[in-house]
Amino acid sequence: MELRQFACTNCGGGLEFGPGTEALVCPYCGVENRIAADEPAAGEMDFNAAVRALEGQVETVETITAKCSNCAAQTNLPPDVMSDTCAFCGSPVVLEGASMRSIKPQSLLPFKVTDSEAQKAFGKWLKGRWFAPGDLKKHSGSARGLTGMYIPHWTYDARTISAYTGQRGTHYYTTQTYTATVNGKPQTRTRQVRHTSWRPASGRVYVDFDDVLVEASTSLPEVHRPSVGEDALQRLVPYADEYLAGFLTEHYTVGLEDGFKIATTKMVPRIDQAIRSDIGGDEQRVTSKDTRYFDVTYKHILLPIWISSYQFGGKTYQFTVDAETGHVQGERPYSKIKIAMTVLAVILFIVMMVMLAQS
């Protein structure tokens, strides 16, 4: 495997990518070294071709990864590093030397938020937690060093055709006569009662999908994963090794085929909505559905996060900062005393309101 290093054009020191810039920055002399932007935008890759021949019709890269024995996360370590600490759980990881061929990323979202900005965002997030212990905000500076990491993802495009059978329900109303007691006397009244008439329905619907996003890793709990909008995917840049300088990159553990299986589950709600719209009526029943997928393409992309943890009350709490938006997600402790006092205050307020109403 060839591990690239980037030397400063001014002093020869090792360069790191500068978040929020389009340049590699020298930590020694501060000189910026611009990243060449002559690569065309990454296009969609043929899914079936990649599945048939991973090392044939799709560009691959040979990587040597370190696997954490505690949480099973796989990380590509920086050049010349044989051991490190797992960014996900803090356990030691050691490079075992096993190489593997994997699909090369086509594009990525560069780091925009710096480590100092991420630390400030974490402090603000920590201070804004409701029902948190009173001295929690003092721990905003106790987080261990933030680790910048690229998390692997797949995106999928597909055309779908779904044949279905079901029933179309149409509401109709009848007038019903009933007897009600008013002031101790019976009275005859009427009311409208709704019924549903069902008729068989069948047909086909056609739904196209663009950039269905699937995380290609299971190392992060869902609550910590980057929250990526469609607009962010429009800001992807072609992959270049320079963007990875100074950061870790997690290797994907959810393969291309397994990722597409997950993507199809995300496609289900839109397909079901299209079927119900096609059936029409006031209610719909779907009794069978057969979906076929055509012209499936994919992209392998990398999305950036800052990841760290902090200690409180003898426990470790993990958090992440989206390195493109600055959005913080993570674990936090709760104050049982504050929660109990709030519940008690609510109960007392309800009791007082009842007493005032009865007085």
Residue 202: how many other CB atoms lie within 10 Å: 13
Give the phi and the psi of residue 257 in degrees, each rounded to 5.
-70, -45
Q: What is the pLDDT of residues 171-181, one digit of tens each?
A: 999 999 998 88
Alpha-carbon distance 300 to 103, whole Å? 7
Q: Indicate whether 162 pLDDT > 60.
A: yes
Q: What is the pLDDT of residues 22-43, one digit of tens each?
A: 777 887 777 777 776 555 556 6
Bigger pLDDT: 130 vs 252: 252
Alpha-carbon distance 296 to 48, whole Å? 7
Contact 32, 242 (CB under 8 A): no
Of the pLDDT bands very low, low, confident and very high (cuts 50, 70, 90), residue 2 is very low
Of the pLDDT bands very low, low, confident and very high (cuts 50, 70, 90), residue 100 is low
Percent of the chain with pLDDT over 70: 73
Residue in the structure block whose two tokens are 């001295």: 135
- Encoded tokens for 287: 């009794």
Domain ranges of the chain: 1-38, 39-164+201-343
Q: What is the pLDDT of residues 223-268, one digit of tens each?
A: 666 667 667 888 899 998 888 888 888 888 898 999 999 999 999 9
Residue in the structure block whose two tokens are 């909505």: 273
Alpha-carbon distance 211 to 192, whole Å? 48
Q: Indicate whether 7 pLDDT > 80.
A: no
Q: Indicate whether 93 pLDDT > 70.
A: no
Contact 344, 249 (CB under 8 A): no
Q: Indicate whether 79 pLDDT > 60.
A: no
Q: Indicate whether 76 pLDDT > 80.
A: no
Of the pLDDT bands very low, low, confident and very high (cuts 50, 70, 90), residue 279 is very high
Percent of the chain with pLDDT over 90: 31
Q: Indicate whether 3 pLDDT > 50.
A: no
- Encoded tokens for 112: 């925009």
Q: Quick check: pTM over 0.85?
A: no
